[in-house]
Structure 1
């Protein structure tokens, strides 16, 4: 077999680096690992995600947030992460609104958070898949009456 350089192979064939499909757990662990690389890094928090309408929340972005760390990673983008929006992170990492809220919202930490703190929140979401009360709370939060009462509190 003749040895060829990568450049020679690119001339003959389309060569793309691919990663094996990651499970939900692996995607979340990888995200936590990215955050733990620089645990003292200051990240922006999302302002009041629980008070945003569903459409606004799904499109929400916060420059310099934990979601930006995930989106900057080529492996997660290759796995299918399309943007650093709240809705895309929720879909890609298979998180409930409450789980993602705990990771990125300002109500827990103020306007900024440390990456190490965000990593702890990501890791805590790993084992909470399918918990009864999490799923119940998620279902109730979309009821119109619940949203009306929640907005009346404001």
Structure 2
């Protein structure tokens, strides 16, 4: 077996990194935020009131989006900027998820990095708990509705 210098191999090989899955992207972003959980970051100002075209361009210096964009792995994988629209596309966030995780109306103008990480984890985490809550709500409705109808009639 012949050994070659790594720099030489990079110069002659066409190495394409495997794209990250949505969950891997989110996990990486959350872990970046959790590295310094007391770091103060700027939230995004009242994004729910902005028209969609304007909302997509929203950015703040020293925000959770900046933390993601500063990471060379996420940038190489396709994160185009630290603007909200690019982050929503790249991380697969809905308007509601982005609002819950990043907006100033829920966290104030400045919040700790760990707070943003928890919100991202809560809003993008496993949907099993949401399904369980939905199942319990349906069961409660199935049991309670006949009683309510009986009492009202």
TM bracket (short chain): 0.7 to 0.9
Q: Which has the larger radius of gyration?
A: 2
Mapped partners of 2:88, 2:3: distance in 1: 44
Q: Does 1:5 align with 2:8?
A: no
Q: Which runs of 5+ in 1 are unaligned?
A: 133-154
Contact kept? 2:97, 2:124, Cα under 8 Å: no
**TM-score after normalising by structure 2:** 0.76
Pick the structure with more helix per residue: 2
Q: Which runs of 5+ in 2 are unaligned?
A: 132-153
Q: How many residues align?
A: 129
Q: Does 1:86 align with 2:52?
A: no
Cα drift, residue 126 of structure 1: 1.9
Q: CA RMSD in A?
A: 2.0
**TM-score after normalising by structure 1:** 0.75
Equivalent in the alignment of 1:49:
47
Mapped partners of 2:68, 2:17: distance in 1: 16
Contact kept? 1:68, 1:84, Cα under 8 Å: yes
CA shift digits 1:95-149 (9 cap, x unpaired): 11111111111111211010000000110122377x89xxxxxxxxxxxxxxxxx
Contact kept? 1:43, 1:65, Cα under 8 Å: yes
Equivalent in the alignment of 1:113:
111
Equivalent in the alignment of 1:125:
123
